[in-house]
A and B are shown apart, each in its own frame.
Chain A
Amino acid sequence: GENVEQHPSTLSVQEGDSAVIKCTYSDSASNYFPWYKQELGKRPQLIIDIRSNVGEKKDQRIAVTLNKTAKHFSLHITETQPEDSAVYFCAASITGNQFYFGTGTSLTVIP
């Protein structure tokens, strides 16, 4: 099956700085890559996703890039704010059936 690795496991940044979280996947057939944000004690919620026919996608302060050749994708958060503090999970899937998740990155934004 698919294997998704995520780095770093923890990340601390000063408010206003950028944060980057990286994931790699093993199955070249994976074609959908969502990112989820999980605040403490709450359910994971989708913040951005990208499909295999797109190299980059941006939504305000959040962007995701995908390199199919290298089989890695990254989440970029610019101008970080304290409310960005959470655990972020990447995932990979084929045609939206099984999702394989990374182990998560705990992001702390220091005011």
Chain B
Amino acid sequence: NAGVTQTPKFRILKIGQSMTLQCTQDMNHNYMYWYRQDPGMGLKLIYYSVGAGITDKGEVPNGYNVSRSTTEDFPLRLELAAPSQTSVYFCASSFAQGGTEAFFGQGTRLTVV
């Protein structure tokens, strides 16, 4: 099992550029999440999805968009990148029912210059 796979691992963007962070999981999890991790600030939820075709905003959604066309994939889109979006991004997934473990991808370190 690959678990949760994110690409790319590193990326440098110029201000105003756009990009998509890819996330795929092979555990047939219904729930998927995108977090950003800033130094000393913990993990902040950007968007989450409870199943294919359903997405919802988390704590810090501004400047991002997501889609969930399949159970496996949950890409995060950055439009008009800003320096404030410099961060480490983690995708995660979990089963829907009950309190269960969230499995994380390896992270994407994004720098906007």
Residue-by-residue, is B70-84 near A (CB-CB < 8 Å gives 1, otherwise 0)? 000000000000000
Interface residues on B, range: 20 to 34
C-alpha gap A97/B98 in the complex (Å)? 8
When the two chains form their complex, are residues B99 and A103 in contact, meaning their CB atoms are under 8 A apart? no
Q: Give the number of A-B contacts (CB < 8 Å).
A: 68
When the two chains form their complex, are residues B42 and A1 in contact, meaning their CB atoms are under 8 A apart? no
When the two chains form their complex, are residues B105 and A95 in contact, meaning their CB atoms are under 8 A apart? no
C-alpha gap A51/B33 in the complex (Å)? 21
When the two chains form their complex, are residues A96 and B43 in contact, meaning their CB atoms are under 8 A apart? no
In the complex formed, the residue of B with least CB distance to A1 is B59
Interface residues on A, range: 20 to 34
When the two chains form their complex, are residues B102 and A34 in contact, meaning their CB atoms are under 8 A apart? yes
Instruction: Answer whether residue A82 sits at the interface, using C-beta atoms and an 8 A cutoff.
Output: no
Instruction: Answer whether residue A43 sits at the interface, using C-beta atoms and an 8 A cutoff.
Output: yes
The 6 closest A-B pairs by CB, nearest first: A32-B99, A103-B42, A43-B104, A101-B43, A96-B99, A96-B100
